[in-house]
């Protein structure tokens, strides 16, 4: 392999690390999960200037099928996907998974856990996690003489 | 899987595996980088009067979903885009599926395609396909002879 190819690989690895791996380690830790499927429900995390937003996909679920709690900087989403009861019917294909689920995350220090809000609509749970104002870097004016 | 404390070394193992996989995807299939596809899970069951198809399509607009019945084949296709307002750099974690999808299923001949109904609610697409009259189970009266 030529040196150029090796450098390209190194660049690609660094880029992947910066974009996908480091943020995962530094900001959010998944503490554990339980249930039939590792990634249910799926979680998207976005960061804006003054808040994080978590989008949790819970298709077909009603509000009473799950709960969201924050305790001591740990956020837990858990619930149960009720298995459809077929009366006088037979299954032809079954791909969706059912049953209990749980996902737990460690929240970054900068999140103000007192002000977390959540909204559930059309099977999508949106969690708004404000970032503490004081933890934002203060710009220091430079006096020039 | 039970709740486990975060173990950095286990995390590194997982990391190594993830990076190898990323390499596989990045280098072996460069053509796939532009397009993104996913496979929504589908349940199908049959009752006395109809066949019901349920596809999990969270966080979509009905107008981005196309349902077609042609030659006794039911096809569901569409595209789910990442939130347009957020730029990709803002995402810390994306687990939700997005991109284009396509699923097709052969239907039994006794389905009345003209009376099919498709409804999208809470992130689930439900298609109800009534059976043709002659296909419904009929009680045959037993006469005394």
Range of the domain at B88: 35-134
Instruction: Please tell me the predicted confidence (pLDDT) of residue B29.
Output: 42
What are the residues whose beta carbons fall under 8 Å from the beta carbon of B25, sequence distance 6 or more? B32
A28-84+94-133 topology per CATH = Immunoglobulin-like (2.60.40)
Q: What does the pLDDT average to over B124-130?
A: 96
Would B18 be classed as within a structural domain?
no
Would B12 be classed as within a structural domain?
no
State whether A24 and B91 contact (CB < 8 Å).
Answer: no
Would B44 be classed as within a structural domain?
yes
Give percent of chain B with pLDDT exceeding 70.
75
Would B25 be classed as within a structural domain?
no
Q: Is A140 exposed, middle or buried (0-12, 13-18, 19+ CB in 10 A)?
A: exposed
Alpha-carbon distance of B81 to B101, in angstroms, equals: 11
Is residue A14 less than 8 Å (CB to CB) from chain B? no
pLDDT grade for B88, boundaries at 50, 70 and 90: low
Would B2 be classed as within a structural domain?
no
Give the one of B42, B47, B54 whose C-beta lies nearest to A89's C-beta.
Answer: B47
Highest mean pLDDT among A52-61, B6-15, B90-99, B127-136: A52-61
Is the per-residue pLDDT at B18 higher than 80?
no
For the range B105-111, what are the long-range contacts, defined as Cβ-Cβ under 8 Å and sequence gap of 24 or more? Answer: B105/A93, B105/B42, B105/B44, B105/B53, B105/B73, B105/B74, B105/B75, B106/B72, B106/B73, B106/B74, B107/B51, B107/B69, B107/B72, B107/B73, B107/B74, B108/B51, B108/B72, B109/B72, B110/B134, B110/B135, B111/B51, B111/B72, B111/B135
Least confident span in A118-122, B93-97, B121-125 = B93-97
Give the one of A23, A44, A59 whose C-beta lies nearest to B122's C-beta.
Answer: A59
Cα distances (Å, whole numbers) of residue B67 to B14, B56, B125:
39, 14, 10
The domain total for chain B is 1
Would B140 be classed as within a structural domain?
no
Asked if ipTM goes beyond 0.90, one says no
pLDDT tens digits for A89-121? Answer: 999 999 998 999 999 999 988 899 999 999 999
Instruction: Please tell me the predicted confidence (pLDDT) of residue A144.
Output: 82
User: Does residue B138 or residue A78 have the better pLDDT?
Assistant: A78
The CATH number of the domain holding residue B100 is 2.60.40.790
């Amino acid at each position: 392999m030529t040196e150029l190819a090796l450098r390209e690989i190194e660049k690609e690895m660094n880029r992947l690390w910066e974009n996908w791996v480091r943020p995962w380690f530094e900001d959010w830790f998944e503490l554990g999960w339980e249930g039939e499927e590792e990634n249910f429900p799926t979680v998207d995390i976005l960061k804006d200037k003054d808040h994080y937003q978590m989008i949790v996909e819970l298709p077909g679920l009603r509000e009473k099928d799950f709960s969201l709690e924050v305790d001591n900087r740990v956020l837990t989403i858990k619930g149960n996907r009720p298995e459809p009861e077929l009366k006088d019917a037979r299954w032809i294909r079954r791909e969706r998974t059912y049953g209990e689920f749980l996902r737990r995350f460690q929240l970054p220090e900068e999140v103000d856990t007192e002000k977390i809000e959540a909204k559930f609509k059309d099977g999508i749970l949106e969690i708004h996690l404000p970032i503490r104002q004081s933890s934002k870097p203060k710009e220091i004016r430079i006096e020039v003489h | 899987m039970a709740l486990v404390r975060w173990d950095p070394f286990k995390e590194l193992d997982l990391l190594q595996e993830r990076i190898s996989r990323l390499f596989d995807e990045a280098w072996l299939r460069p053509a796939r980088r532009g397009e993104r596809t996913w496979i929504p899970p589908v349940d199908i069951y049959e009752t006395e009067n109809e066949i019901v198809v349920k596809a999990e399509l969270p966080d979509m607009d009905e107008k981005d979903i196309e349902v077609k019945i042609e030659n006794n084949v039911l096809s569901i296709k569409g595209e789910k885009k990442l939130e347009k307002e957020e730029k990709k750099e803002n995402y810390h974690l994306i687990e939700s599926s997005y991109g284009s999808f396509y699923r097709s299923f052969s239907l039994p001949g006794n389905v009345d395609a003209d009376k099919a109904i498709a409804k999208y609610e809470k992130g689930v697409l439900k298609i109800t396909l009534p059976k043709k009259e002659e296909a419904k189970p009929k009680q045959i009266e037993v006469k005394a002879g």
